[in-house]
DNA sequence: CCGTCGATGTACT
DNA sequence: GTACATCGACGGC
């Protein structure tokens, strides 16, 4: 069995779970998404919680577009916009396509650290702020229309936040060695 | 193995 | 000035 094409106009936590196990490429580089987090408009941990700003404008744009923001002044983080003010942070992937290019961008010896975190993943994929608001169904993005069902999908607390810490909107592929960190 | 810390753009007090 | 959806270098065990 396989699921249908991903519909972004639904609650972000459903999209986040549906993205696990799905193929995602940027200009031919990428792999299988193994970890995501959902953020919602009424969610104190979400960038959109206090309304639009120059940075988070993309979160209020069209479903199925990218929201790329700078994290801690250094890294880039990639989100998929869902309903208005909600998005899914792509936290980790199992790298599979364009490995040589991604290894060159990341300069690490262990493939497990190529995409095992939101900042690592954007560096490996070559994603930066210039991709903000771009449509995810057009090149250079390629998102798998189907995926294997019956995956062992774990959920838990989101990483690196201080508000709404008990909302279990982090999702991951059980047993994957490519997670940013284990689930509890 | 583990914890601490610096880097530093954007948003908020 | 302080916080932050992070990462990697470094030091101690």
- pLDDT 10s digits, A72-106: 999 999 999 999 999 999 999 999 999 999 999 99
Is A181 a member of any domain? no
| Protein-proximal positions, strand B, CB < 7 A | 7-12
What residues make up the domain containing A86? 12-173
| Protein-proximal positions, strand C, CB < 7 A | 3-8
Helix/strand number for chain A, H first, E second: 3, 8
Q: Of all nucleotides in the shown strands, which has a C1' nearest the CA of A70? A: B9
Is A48 a member of any domain? yes
Is A182 a member of any domain? no
Q: Identify the three-state secondary structure at position A111.
A: helix
| pLDDT tens-digit series, residues A135-163 | 999 999 999 988 888 999 999 999 999 99
Q: How many domains does chain A have?
A: 1
| pLDDT tens-digit series, residues A29-43 | 999 999 999 999 999
Tell me, what CATH number does A32's domain have?
3.10.300.10
Is A116 a member of any domain? yes
For residue A151, give every residue at least 6 positions away whose Cβ sits within 8 Å of its Cβ, in sequence order, or none.
A20, A21, A173, A174
Say what the alpha-carbon torsion angle A161, A91, A79, A23 is, to the nearest 10 degrees.
-160
């Amino acid at each position: 069995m396989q699921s249908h094409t991903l519909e972004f106009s639904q609650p972000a936590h459903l999209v986040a779970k549906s993205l696990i196990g799905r193929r995602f490429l940027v200009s031919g580089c990428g792999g299988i998404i193994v970890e995501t987090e959902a953020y919602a408009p009424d969610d104190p941990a979400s960038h959109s919680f206090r309304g639009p700003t120059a940075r988070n404008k993309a979160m209020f744009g069209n479903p199925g577009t990218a929201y790329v923001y700078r994290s801690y002044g250094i890294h880039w983080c990639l989100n998929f916009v869902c309903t208005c003010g909600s998005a899914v942070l792509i936290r980790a992937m199992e790298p599979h396509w364009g490995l040589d290019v991604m290894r060159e961008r990341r300069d690490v010896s262990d493939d497990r650290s190529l995409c095992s975190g939101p900042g690592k993943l954007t560096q490996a994929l070559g994603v930066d702020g210039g991709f903000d608001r771009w449509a995810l169904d057009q090149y250079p993005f390629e998102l798998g229309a189907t995926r294997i069902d019956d995956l062992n999908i774990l959920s838990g607390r989101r990483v690196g936040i201080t508000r709404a810490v008990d909302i279990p909107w982090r999702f991951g592929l059980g047993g994957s060695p490519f997670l940013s960190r284990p689930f509890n």
